[in-house]
A and B are shown apart, each in its own frame.
Chain A
Amino acid sequence: MSDMGVIVKTNARALIPLIGVFGSYIILHGHLTPGGGFQGGATIVGTALLFLIAFGVDEAKKRINKDLYSALEGIGGLVFLGAAMLGLSVAFFYNILWHKGPLFNGRPGTLLSAGFLPIMNLGVGLKVFTGLVSAVFALALFRRWKE
Chain B
Amino acid sequence: MKRALAFLSLMIIFAALMVALSPGYGIKFGLGGEDWKRYRYTDDYYIKHGLEDVGGMNIVTDIVFDYRGYDTIGEATVLFTAIAGAVALLRPWRRERNE
Interface residues of A (CB under 8 A from B): 30-34, 36, 38, 70, 73, 77, 80-81, 84, 92-93, 95, 98, 105, 108-109, 113-117, 120-121, 124, 127-128, 131-132, 134-135, 138-139, 141-143
Contacts and interface: CB of A to CB of B under 8 A. Distances in A.
Interface of B is mostly: helix
Interface of B: 51, 53-58, 60-62, 64-66, 69-70, 72-73, 75-77, 79-80, 82-83, 86-87, 90-93, 96
29 contacts: A31-B55, A31-B56, A31-B57, A31-B61, A32-B58, A33-B57, A73-B80, A77-B76, A77-B80, A84-B69, A92-B69, A95-B66, A108-B51, A108-B57, A114-B55, A114-B62, A117-B61, A117-B66, A120-B65, A121-B65, A124-B72, A127-B80, A134-B83, A135-B82, A135-B87, A138-B86, A138-B90, A139-B86, A142-B92
